[in-house]
Amino acid sequence: MSLADLLPSMRSMVQSRLEENVWPGGTTVDERGELLVGGHRVTELAGRFGTPLQIVDLADVRRRCRAYRAALPGAEVAYASKAFLCRAVARLVDAEGLSLDVCSAGELAVARSVGFPGWRVLLHGNAKTPEDLKAALAHRVGRIVVDSLDEVDHVAALARDRQRVLVRVTPGVDGGTHAAVTTGVEDQKFGFPLSTGAAAAAVRHVLRQPSLRLVGLHTHLGSQLRRVADFELAARRLVALLAAVRDEHGLELPELNLGGGHAVPQLPGEDDFDLAGFAHRVRAAVHDECARHRLRPPRLTVEPGRALVASAGVTVYRVVAVKHAVRTFVAVDGGMSDNPRPALYGARYLVRMVGRPPAAPLRTATVVGRHCEAGDVIARDVPLPADVRAGDVLAVPGTGAYHHSLASNYNLVGRPPVVGVDNGAVQLLVRRETEEDLLRRDVG
């Protein structure tokens, strides 16, 4: 037991130790208490690029891509680009040999702009527009994941060559996560329910289309999923459907896509997703169920998004005001326009003051944004030095996924830039949005 453990007042002032799991790999604190991401002081990056600022450690993303490929040899790993997509990330994913999961013509346009091979692209979405489908077919995407009978008809009518498709199945598995990101249960908008026979009917409908080639089944249980057993159950249920397809149609489908949703820690003490356990147990479940049904094991695909980029991101804010009222409010120059996740999902974050040593013990504060909403809260009841003041710099880890991609222009605030750090190099990936950008679209 340390002296800081024995003396609460001393413990409250100890900040040099970096919280585990929630920062990009290689993040350090120097002798002056400065936070370094990818070898660069956060305060220097904030001074150079301004705040709010999103930093992404590309070396950390690369390491996670390689970890997935190593854990799942022979399987396809497709990056779920809705988590965070820009040209640099698309190039990185391509270089690492991953496939790319997109869900709009816009995301596909980014992939096309860097020459991402169409055959390694999967198109998702529950309401793909004609423009989405035409763009996908023009780029010759490898697979389209069909989500409704109407969509099957639309793809079949547009396809000139036989388009490879997967049928998205809802297996009736509840991943125990937030209701807004639970997609494995049957009472939600995605996929064809398994228990009602809708999935089997969708398979029949696809097989009747001469311009479509059914190559497999897909499922996605949700986001921030921690229980490997849920993936095992979903895999077994989908293999049983593969067997039913074989028995009814004489067709063994070669692909089984289990989606993504693998959880990442947002706060200190939370566990990482058990990737090794997932790889072993899900493969075993698939092979066991295939043996029971006398099926050849299909090729597996997984679609991590958050798991590859969330922990690689750090958002940097500057304190604008501190208000001591019923509680202490620390107001910063960003907010729900760059991070709506607390308002949408009740997401929680760690906040760390950087750039100067604190001169006071830690006290509970609530970090709030600049927007005209009482719900514009970045982090509620977090420990911050009691002497935090206007001009201080705050760093929030775990912001690499669903921050840039969910950002808005609420209150006509421009979206922040994204800076990539990569083994000592610094690169502006996405520039700051300006007032001129906002006015350019306003043509009335």
Q: What is the CATH number of the domain that holds 262?
A: 3.20.20.10
> Within this chain, do residues 430 and 300 fall inside the same structural domain, yes or no?
no
What does the pLDDT read at residue 3? 28
Last residue of a domain, one of 285, 308, 331: 308
Question: E-assigned strands of 103-146?
Answer: 121-123, 143-146
Asked whether the beta carbons of 55 and 37 are under 8 A apart, the reply is yes
The token pair that represents 150 in the structure block: 């109407």
On whether 31 is known to bind a ligand per the annotation, the reply is: no
What does the pLDDT read at residue 188? 72
> Within this chain, do residues 290 and 347 fall inside the same structural domain, yes or no?
no
On whether 304 is known to bind a ligand per the annotation, the reply is: yes
177 assigned to some structural domain? yes
> Within this chain, do residues 292 and 372 fall inside the same structural domain, yes or no?
no
Q: What is the SS3 assignment for 299?
A: strand
Last residue of a domain, one of 280, 308, 336: 308
Q: Minimal CA–CA distance to 394: which of 12, 49, 17, 35?
A: 35
Identity of the amino acid at 294: R
**47 Rama sector, left if φ>0, alpha if ψ -120 to 50, beta otherwise:** alpha
Q: What is the SS3 assignment for 84?
A: coil
66 assigned to some structural domain? no
116 assigned to some structural domain? yes
Residues 293, 296: Cα–Cα separation, whole Å = 9
Residues 43, 119: Cα–Cα separation, whole Å = 42
Longest dimension (CA), the chain: 74
63 assigned to some structural domain? no
The residues that are catalytic are: 372
How large is the angle between the packed helices 149-158 and 198-207, nearest 10 degrees? 10
> Within this chain, do residues 195 and 126 fall inside the same structural domain, yes or no?
yes
> Within this chain, do residues 158 and 266 fall inside the same structural domain, yes or no?
yes
What does the pLDDT read at residue 10? 33
Asked whether the beta carbons of 401 and 309 are under 8 A apart, the reply is yes
Asked whether the beta carbons of 85 and 121 are under 8 A apart, the reply is no
Identity of the amino acid at 165: V
> Within this chain, do residues 342 and 264 fall inside the same structural domain, yes or no?
no
- Count of positions (residues) in the chain: 444
Q: What is the CATH number of the domain that holds 368?
A: 2.40.37.10
What does the pLDDT read at residue 70? 98
> Within this chain, do residues 199 and 288 fall inside the same structural domain, yes or no?
yes
Identity of the amino acid at 217: L
> Within this chain, do residues 213 and 338 fall inside the same structural domain, yes or no?
no
On whether 341 is known to bind a ligand per the annotation, the reply is: yes
On whether 303 is known to bind a ligand per the annotation, the reply is: yes
Q: Minimal CA–CA distance to 379: which of 305, 312, 306, 319?
A: 319
On whether 299 is known to bind a ligand per the annotation, the reply is: no
Q: Is the dihedral of CA 421, 425, 429, 432 positive or negative?
A: positive
On whether 348 is known to bind a ligand per the annotation, the reply is: no
> Within this chain, do residues 103 and 125 fall inside the same structural domain, yes or no?
yes
Q: Minimal CA–CA distance to 42: which of 396, 415, 413, 399?
A: 396
Q: What is the mean pLDDT of each run of 10 residues along the chain (444 residues)?
A: 34 56 92 91 98 99 98 98 98 98 98 98 96 98 97 97 96 70 69 92 98 96 86 94 97 96 92 94 97 97 97 98 96 97 93 93 98 97 97 98 96 98 96 97 94
Bond from prior residue into 52 cis (ω within 30 degrees of 0)? yes
pTM over 0.75: yes
Residues 320, 105: Cα–Cα separation, whole Å = 38
User: What is the domain extent for residue 191?
Assistant: 74-308
Count the domains in the chain.
Answer: 2
65 assigned to some structural domain? no
> Within this chain, do residues 51 and 119 fall inside the same structural domain, yes or no?
no
> Within this chain, do residues 162 and 85 fall inside the same structural domain, yes or no?
yes
Residues 20, 43: Cα–Cα separation, whole Å = 21
Distance of CA 414 to the CA centre of its chain: 22
On whether 345 is known to bind a ligand per the annotation, the reply is: yes
> Within this chain, do residues 254 and 336 fall inside the same structural domain, yes or no?
no
356 assigned to some structural domain? yes
Q: Give burial (CB, 10 Å; 0-12/13-18/19+) of 126.
A: middle
Residues 68, 75: Cα–Cα separation, whole Å = 10
What does the pLDDT read at residue 288? 97
69 assigned to some structural domain? no
154 assigned to some structural domain? yes
Last residue of a domain, one of 308, 331, 363: 308
